[in-house]
Structure 1
Amino acid sequence: MRTPAQNARLALLLEVAGTPKPGNVDRRRDLADLRFEHFLAGTVGAEEGLEMAQNGDSVGDAFERAVEGMASQGGGNTQFGALLLLVPLVRATADGERLSPSTVESVVEETTVADAAGFYRAFDHVDVFVADPPTEMEPLDVRRGSDAVPALEDRGLTLLDVMDRSVPGDDVAREWVTGFERSFAAADRLVEAEGPATDRAASVFLSLLAERPDTLVANRHDEDVARKVSDRAATLFERDALETDPDAVETFAEDLVERGINPGTTADVTAAGLYIALERGGLEV
């Protein structure tokens, strides 16, 4: 029987191995400077931090350690957003309770200023794309990493407070303030789907992209691009293209890679859904 930390690592592996995942690294497709092997190495590197979460360590410390380990491979940021979802989910299992929206809500509601400081220090280990903050929030710009911790402490902001201030521009943060709504919905879809887990992961990724524009795409490009990508995914998903026209999804995937469009937030939510499905026993691997 796998431990929660093992299920979290398996979720990361299944997510990156699912194909086709338009615009993202998968087992058949690399990006210009980010390869499939980097994600495998990042998963291995995150091991200690995920085990810390499993053993009841604070969310901030566990997340920083997971990111530090993840960043030890040569590709840079591979799974920062996914780990920001997985660490509280794993921590929610530390007391032996069944994983549910209420148990993970309790974890995030109990985060502290020290947890927020750990989150900021994680940015010292790896470059992460984030949108420019409003002028009044510049002292709290996460890209400042540990240099922003004094401003964070002066304001007494917990990690949940930081996530709340990142909505609506960041859908990973949105999960924190909505009881991991989409993550649990993704888990239900994964259980209901058929076929190998990697095929299910790719299908659920497309369904998530079809229903909501990816915030990483919106921030890197603009909201119009993100909406058009989501609309195209919806067209493919409504045709059940993963079964009837896989070439159409492959074409979509290649097109996004060529245009440098990476729906990474959708991949993060897919990884969280995989973990929930694995941990609750609904997805057998």
Structure 2
Amino acid sequence: MSRDARGGRRPTDPVDDATLALLVEVAGTPKPGNVDRRRDLDDLRFESFLGGAVGAREGLELAAGEGPGDEVASVGGAFERAVSGMAERARTNTQFGCLLLLVPLVRAAADSDRELSPAGVDAVCRATTVDDAVAFYRAFEVVDVAVDDPPPGADDLDVRRGGDAEPAVCEREMTLRDVLALSAAPSDSAEATDSAEANRVPDRNAAEWTEGFPRTFRAAEWILTDEGPLADRAARAFLGLLAAGPDTLVASTQGAETAREASARAAALLGVESAGPDGIGGVDAVPAEAVHGADLAAAEVLAEAFVDEGINPGTTADLTCAALFVALRRGAEVAP
């Protein structure tokens, strides 16, 4: 909720909250290994994320039915437009994963027939179509996204093919949720046919799509029940999410072992046990009081170490952004 000029509370627009979530996420400090308001990376700057948030707005409006003539784009179409706008303004990939999570959340929040709940957003994801999947693939043509190789037998569905994957997507009748399920499968699934696949870290963003956004809603509760500036609460929630399970981007760029070690280091900072080898369900093992008590000064030391080591938990930042959106929809405010 926001306040009018006389201090009364009024409903907020889901697109405003999604934009604010993108901005507060990058302002949260420290988020070890990520860009924040005090820390740039060699190839990414703080202001690039501000531009990306502004550029993505048109796609978020389409997701909420606020396009020209109250146009409501498909989930895939809204995502494609949001990514395109982000890339045009930021000139790089700043928030691809954030938008993948925000678009169905915005759709659920804006739909009067649904509620912003795990069941509500799950219904949005389950309603996606083959056309949504094709639009998702096209979005990879405008940005460079670090991804793992596809699971065995799915080379024709490699997202790095962009729009060239459309015939395979259509032939297999894959919805957007179906496509993401390929990356969300845990390492002990039937697809784990060799040691490399068995050691794979599941895609956390894809897992949200197939599991009803459990990490998002859990972290939103951490934020809502925490105290202090919203950006600080976001930074603490980031640490909780990283402790809960290995980061997909770190696993893609530096390997599963490094990703799991990074999560163990975040868990140690919070004083909790590491979530386990694959992190599935790990978010429930992180107590809210451990997150709320996170030492941000100690996190600064970890942040510098991660930057020096090239550890960039970008997927954890995506989840933090999604959690901020849910928290904002449920009453969190930037005002004291």
Paired residue for 1:78?
A: 94
1:142-161 matched pairs, under 5 angstroms: 142-161=159-178
Paired AA for residue 266 in structure 1: T
Alpha-carbon distance between aligned partners in 2 of 1:92 and 1:102, rounded to the nearest angstrom: 10
Asked if the contact 2:237–2:320 (Cα under 8 Å) also holds between the matched residues in 1, the reply is yes
Measured after TM superposition, the shift of residue 228 of structure 1 is 1.1
Q: Pick the aligned partner of 1:210 from 243, 251, 267.
A: 243
Is 2:82 aligned against 1:66? Answer: yes
Q: Which segment is superposed worse, 61-70 or 137-146?
A: 137-146
Q: Per the alignment, in what secondary structure is the counterpart of residue 93 of structure 1?
A: helix
Paired residue for 2:154?
A: 137
Q: Pick the aligned partner of 1:100 from 117, 120, 130.
A: 117
Measured after TM superposition, the shift of residue 2 of structure 1 is 2.6
Measured after TM superposition, the shift of residue 243 of structure 1 is 6.1
Q: Which segment is superposed worse, 197-206 or 167-176?
A: 167-176
Paired residue for 2:19?
A: 9
Asked if the contact 2:157–2:168 (Cα under 8 Å) also holds between the matched residues in 1, the reply is yes
1:1-40 matched pairs, under 5 angstroms: 1-40=11-50
Unaligned runs of 5+ in 2: 1-10, 66-71, 187-201, 273-289
Paired AA for residue 255 in structure 1: A
Q: Judging changes above 3 Å, is the alpha-carbon distance between structure 1 residues 5 and 248 closer, same or farther for their aligned structure 2 residues?
A: same
Paired residue for 2:270?
A: 237
Q: Which segment is superposed worse, 240-249 or 173-182?
A: 240-249
Is 2:260 aligned against 1:222? Answer: no
Q: Per the alignment, in what secondary structure is the counterpart of residue 153 of structure 2?
A: helix
Paired AA for residue 111 in structure 2: D
Asked if the contact 1:22–1:250 (Cα under 8 Å) also holds between the matched residues in 2, the reply is yes
Measured after TM superposition, the shift of residue 9 of structure 1 is 0.5
Q: Max radius of gyration: which structure? A: 2
Unaligned runs of 5+ in 1: none
Q: CA offsets per residue over residues 66-85 of structure 1, 9 Å max, x none?
A: 00001113551110001000
Asked if the contact 1:241–1:249 (Cα under 8 Å) also holds between the matched residues in 2, the reply is no
- TM-score, scaled relative to structure 2: 0.81
Q: Which segment is superposed worse, 235-244 or 133-142?
A: 235-244
Asked if the contact 1:34–1:75 (Cα under 8 Å) also holds between the matched residues in 2, the reply is no
Alpha-carbon distance between aligned partners in 1 of 2:270 and 2:300, rounded to the nearest angstrom: 13
What is the identity percentage for the equivalent residue pairs of Structure 1 and Structure 2? 58
Q: Judging changes above 3 Å, is the alpha-carbon distance between structure 1 residues 255 and 135 closer, same or farther for their aligned structure 2 residues?
A: same
Paired residue for 1:176?
A: 209
Measured after TM superposition, the shift of residue 211 of structure 1 is 1.6
Measured after TM superposition, the shift of residue 235 of structure 1 is 1.2
Asked if the contact 2:32–2:306 (Cα under 8 Å) also holds between the matched residues in 1, the reply is yes
Paired AA for residue 93 in structure 1: A
Q: Judging changes above 3 Å, is the alpha-carbon distance between structure 1 residues 243 and 176 closer, same or farther for their aligned structure 2 residues?
A: closer
Paired residue for 2:333?
A: 284
Q: How many residues align?
A: 284
Measured after TM superposition, the shift of residue 210 of structure 1 is 1.0
Q: Pick the aligned partner of 1:124 from 141, 164, 169.
A: 141
Q: Judging changes above 3 Å, is the alpha-carbon distance between structure 1 residues 241 and 183 closer, same or farther for their aligned structure 2 residues?
A: closer
Paired residue for 2:107?
A: 91
Alpha-carbon distance between aligned partners in 2 of 1:187 and 1:265, rounded to the nearest angstrom: 16
Q: Judging changes above 3 Å, is the alpha-carbon distance between structure 1 residues 8 and 232 closer, same or farther for their aligned structure 2 residues?
A: same
RMSD of aligned residue pairs (Cα, Å): 1.6
Paired residue for 1:111?
A: 128
Asked if the contact 1:241–1:248 (Cα under 8 Å) also holds between the matched residues in 2, the reply is no
Paired AA for residue 73 in structure 1: R
Asked if the contact 2:222–2:292 (Cα under 8 Å) also holds between the matched residues in 1, the reply is no
Asked if the contact 1:21–1:205 (Cα under 8 Å) also holds between the matched residues in 2, the reply is yes
Paired AA for residue 46 in structure 1: A
